[in-house]
Structure 1
Amino acid sequence: MPMNRFGALRTIATAVRTAARPGSPGIGERLTSLPRLFAATFRGEYAGTSRGRLLMVIGAVAYVVSPIDLIPELALSVFGLADDAVVVSWIAATVVNETESFLAWERLHPRTGGAARETVQGDVLR
C-alpha cells in the first residue's frame, strides 16, 4: 500500500511540474479549457481524446467526492485515503495531459465565433 501512495504522490508532483513549466498553460487556463475540451470532443471537432476517457474523468471525480466513499475513510483512516490518492493522481495527470494537447490543438484551430466554416472553391452545378 505505501508504494501506491508514493506512486500517487509522484504522479501528482509530475503533473504539477508539467503544468508549471515556463511557457506552459497555467492551472487556471487548463481548468477553464475543460468545458471547451468536453464540448469539442462531444461535438466531434476534437479527436485528441475520447468521450469514454472524459466520462472516466467525471466518474473518477464523482468517486472521490462521493459520500459513499466516506465510510472507508472513517473506518480505515489513512489506509482508506490511499485509493483516493491514486484516483486523484490519475485525475491530475489526465487533466494536465489532456489540456496540454487540447490547448495546443486550439492554438492551431482557432474558432471564429460559431462553427468553423470551410470555403470550397469550384464550379457550382445547377
Structure 2
Amino acid sequence: MAKAGRAAAAWRAYQEVSRTGSPGLGARLRAVPRMIGGVMRGTYPHMGKSKLAMMGLGVVYILSPVDVIPEFLLLVGVADDFGVFLWLMTSLLGESGRYVDWERRHRPLEVPAEGGPEGR
C-alpha cells in the first residue's frame, strides 16, 4: 500500500472511531483479547485465522530487530516499520469495532444477580 493509501486508511479509522454510536477506542482495545479468543475458538465467524496470523506477523515485524529495510537508511528504514504499524492499527481498530458490534448483537442479555442493586 502506498504512503498516501496508508494515511487515508488511518484517517478513515480515526473517523470510524470518532463516529457517534460507533464503539470508542477504549471499547475496541478492550475487545482485542476477546476477539482473538473468538477467532481462535471459531466462535467469531467474521475474521479468519489467516488475517489474525497476518496481524501477528505485523507485530513480530515491528518488534523484530531484523528488517527488510534497515533503520540505518534513516527515514526509509523507519517508514517501512511505520507503514506496518499503520496497517496493523487500522486493521485492529476496524476488526475490533466490528467485533464489538457483533458481540452486542449476539451476546445473550446478562441477567442481574439476585440481591444486587439491579435485582431489587
Identity of aligned residues (%): 35
Q: Is the 2:28–2:96 Cα contact (8 Å) retained in structure 1?
A: yes
Post-superposition, which runs of at least 4 consecutive aligned residues in structure 1 deviate over 3 A? none
- Is this contact kept in 2: 1:25–1:100, CA < 8 A? yes
Q: Is the 8 A contact 2:69 2:80 kept in 1?
A: no
Larger mean Cα displacement after TM superposition, 10-19 or 52-61: 10-19
Equivalent residue runs for 1:27-66 within 5 Å: 27-66=25-64
Q: Give 1:25's aligned amino acid.
A: P
Max Rg structure: 1
User: How many angstroms does 1:70 deviate by?
Assistant: 9.5
Rounded to whole Å, the distance in 2 between the matches of 1:97 and 1:8 is 14
User: What TM-score does the superposition give when structure 1 sets the normalisation length?
Assistant: 0.76
Give the gaps of 5 or more residues in structure 1.
Answer: 114-126
Q: Residue 106 of structure 2: which of 89, 104, 109 is its match?
A: 109
RMSD of aligned C-alpha atoms?
2.2
3-state secondary structure, aligned to 2:80: helix
The number of residue pairs the alignment matches comes to 110
Task: Check conservation: 1:41, 1:51, Cα contact below 8 A.
Answer: yes
1:2-46 CA-to-partner distances (Å, cap 9, x unmatched) read x93232222212211111112211111111101110111111111
Distance 1:27 1:104 in 2: 13
In 2, Cα distance between equivalents of 1:83 and 1:6: 13
Structure 2 SS opposite 1:45? coil
Higher relative contact order (CA 8 A, sep 6+): 1
TM-score of the pair, normalised by structure 2: 0.79
Please, which runs of 5 or more residues in structure 2 have no aligned partner?
Answer: 111-120
